[in-house]
Amino acid sequence: MNPNTPLILKRLLTVSVLLAGALLAAMFLGLSMGSSGTSFQAVYTSLFGTGDDSVLGMIIWRIRLPRVILAALVGATLSLGGLVFQALLRNPLAEPYILGISGGAAIGAIIGILMGLSRFPGVSLTSFTGSLLTLLLILGISTGQSILKKNSILLSGVMVNAFCSAVIMFLVSLTRDAKLHSIIFWLMGDLSLGTIQQTGMLSLLLLPCFILIFWLSNTMNLLLMGREMAQTMGINIRAVTLTLLITTSFMVSATVSQCGLIGFVGLVIPHFFRLLLGPDHRVLAPACILGGGAYMVICDILARTLPNQGEMPVGVITAMIGAPLFIFLLKRSGR
C-alpha cells in the first residue's frame, strides 16, 4: 500500500459517509413519493413506529421498496461500469454499454418477449445470455495482443452495437400488437416490475463485483499512469484488464437484463465525480456506487411522479437530464 494510505482513508471515509447519506435520503424520498400520493410521515412511522399493515404500508414496502433498491443497484452498476470502462479504454466517452452489452442484451430480451416468456426469469435469462454472447464475440474479435489496444476493443464494440441495432430494428419491424409495447418499454429502460426476490438475487450477483472492482481500484490508478509504469509496479496488465472487462460486463448485463437500457448514467456520474474528487479511483469507485445509486433513485422518482397518468420510462429521464449535464461538465472541464 501507499505511504499516504491514512490520508486516502480519511478522504475515502468522508466521501463515502456523505454520499451514503445522500443515497439514504434519496431512498427515503423514493419510498415517500409515488403515483398514489406523497407522505413522508407514513414512511417515518412505518420505519420507526409500530408495525401496521395498512394499504399505504403495503405500497411502501412491497411496491416502492423493491423498486427503490433496484434503482440504486442499477445506478451504482452503470456508474461504476462507466468508471471502469473509461479507465480501461482511456476514452472519456466509453460507457458500460460500449462492448455491445446493450445490443446483445436487447436482442436476447426481444427474442424472449417474442417467445412469450415472462419477464422474470424468462426474459432476464435470454437477455443475459445475449449480452454474454456478444461479450465473448468481442473478446474473440480482439484477442491476441490487440486486447490491450484500447481502440480495437472500442471499435469492435461500436461495430457490434451497430450490427445489434440493425437486428433489433429488424425484430421490431416483425413485431405487432401487444408485444411491441413491452419491447419498446424495455428498450427505453423500465424499473416498474422489480420484485423483492429479483432485487435480492441481483444484489447477490452485484455485490461481489463491486468489491472486486473496489479492490482493483488502485491498480486502475496505476494503469492510467501508462503501461511501462504499471509493468514496473509488477502488474499483470493483461490479467487485470481481462478481469475488469469481464466483471464489469457481467454486472452490467445482469442489470440490463432486469430493467432494459438506461443510458447516460455511466457517462455522467463518473465524469461528475472525477471533476469533483480528482482522478483517484480508490475514492471514485465508492463515490460512483453510492452517488450513482442516489442519482438513479431520483431519476426514478421523477419518472414515477412527473406524468399525470401512468409513468415514463426511466431511461427517458436519465437521457434528458444526462445529455445536457454531460455537455455542461465538458465545458466546465475544458476551461
Partner 1 sequence: MLKSLIVFTWFFLVWVALPLHAGASDRIVEDLLGRRVVIPENLSRLVALAPNITEIVFDLGKEKMLVGVTTYSDYPEEAKNIPKVGSYIHLDLERIVALQPDLCLAIKDGNPIDTVMRLEALGIPVYAVDPRNLESVMQTLVRVGGLLHAEDKAEDIVADMRKRISRVDAMVAYVQKRPRVFFQIGVAPIVSIGSDTFIHELVVRAGGKNLAEGPVSYPRFGREQVIGLSPDVIIITSMARAAAFEEIKSEWSQWTNVPAVRTDSIFIQESNLFDRPSPRLVDALEVLVKLIHPELFEETD
Binding site for partner 1 (CB under 8 A): 34-37, 55-56, 58-59, 62-64, 118-120, 176-178, 181-182, 185, 192-193, 195, 304, 309-311
Report, in Å, the least distance between residue 118 CB and partner 1. 6
Is 162 in a helix, a strand, or coil?
helix
Q: Which CB atom, from 174 or from 211, has the smaller least distance to partner 1?
A: 174
Q: Which amino acid is at 122?
A: G
Q: Which CB atom, from 151 or from 197, has the smaller least distance to partner 1?
A: 197
Report, in Å, the least distance between residue 211 CB and partner 1. 31
> Taking a C-beta distance cutoff of 8 angstroms, is the pair 108, 229 a contact?
no
Q: Which CB atom, from 22 or from 63, has the smaller least distance to partner 1?
A: 63
The DSSP symbol for 279 reads S
Report, in Å, the least distance between residue 69 CB and partner 1. 16
Euclidean distance between the first and the last CA atom of the chain, given in angstroms as a whole number: 34
Q: Which CB atom, from 150 or from 179, has the smaller least distance to partner 1?
A: 179
DSSP string, 285-319: HHHHHHHHHHHHHHHHHHHHHSSSSS---HHHHHH
Q: Which CB atom, from 35 or from 203, has the smaller least distance to partner 1?
A: 35
Report, in Å, the least distance between residue 117 CB and partner 1. 10
The DSSP symbol for 123 reads I
Report, in Å, the least distance between residue 178 CB and partner 1. 6
> Taking a C-beta distance cutoff of 8 angstroms, is the pair 268, 237 a contact?
no
Q: Where are the alpha helices (DSSP H) in 233-277?
A: 237-259, 265-277
